[in-house]
Amino acid sequence: MELNKTFFNKLAVSEKIVFFTGAGISAESGIPTFRGKDGIWNKLKPEELANFNAFMRNPQMVWEWYNHRKKIIHESNPNAGHIAIAEFEKYFDDVTVVTQNIDNLHRRAGSKKIYELHGNIERNYCIDCKTFYNKELDFSEGVPRCKCGGLIRPDVVWFGEFLPADQLEASEKAAINSDIFFVVGTSAVVYPAAGLVYTAKRSGSYIVEVNIEETEVSSIADISFFGEAGKVLPEILEEVKKVKEKRN
């Protein structure tokens, strides 16, 4: 890959990098997306599975669905895109991952500083006393219950729920302070998460898009790479190494 001079120079002087990731990078690990022609929501109605009222009506059905998703995720591995993002930490002072994904693949790939806007499927909590459960749960009676007797739900953001305030605020701060803001595997149309791209842009960050096709982000991106993250990001990483070697 040969980077244009502006991007090359930006990489040379940047210190704070943000990777804003979505379902596209996980799809490369075999995890189905929710949108697109083969998206999950084309086969299932989200209101039947991913909201609190649906959970209270039929917690067993919702848990069966999330256990199915967990099985897919557990059988998947971080791909070259996830691994490249983690390796960026070797070359920049501050690398932040802001992800809309709940699959924990960035952490498994080795990234250290991660903000999860939509939760994490590996975590669960009691809807009554808010106790967290990160270990495997007992499903012998269909739906896991807390020691207080309350129902336990996945720690993911459902339709109609707010994003976790601490994760969103930290993500906004990272976007504002970033030198380069990568948009990876997301069309950035779901708000409020999508607003982070525009927050970064207004703050003067250099916007780099990595998507398989043109998106709404393309019109404001300083540079776009159209291809799979697992191919594009390792190539950019190689250029980063060259840039850093020249400076040293």
* Active site (catalytic) residues: 118
CA distance 244 to 217: 28
Contact 108, 78 (CB under 8 A): yes
The CA-based diameter of the chain, rounded to the nearest angstrom, is 61
CA distance 129 to 97: 30
Residue 49, classed as helix, strand or coil, is coil
Rg (CA), the chain: 19
Q: What's the one-letter identity of residue 36?
A: G
CA distance 126 to 194: 29
CA distance 182 to 209: 6
Please give the angle made by the CA atoms of 244, 5 and 182, to the nearest 5 degrees. 70
DSSP letter at 159 equals T
Contact 70, 136 (CB under 8 A): no
Helix residue ranges per DSSP H, the chain: 5-13, 23-27, 52-57, 59-74, 80-87, 105-109, 165-177, 195-202, 229-247
CA distance 224 to 182: 10
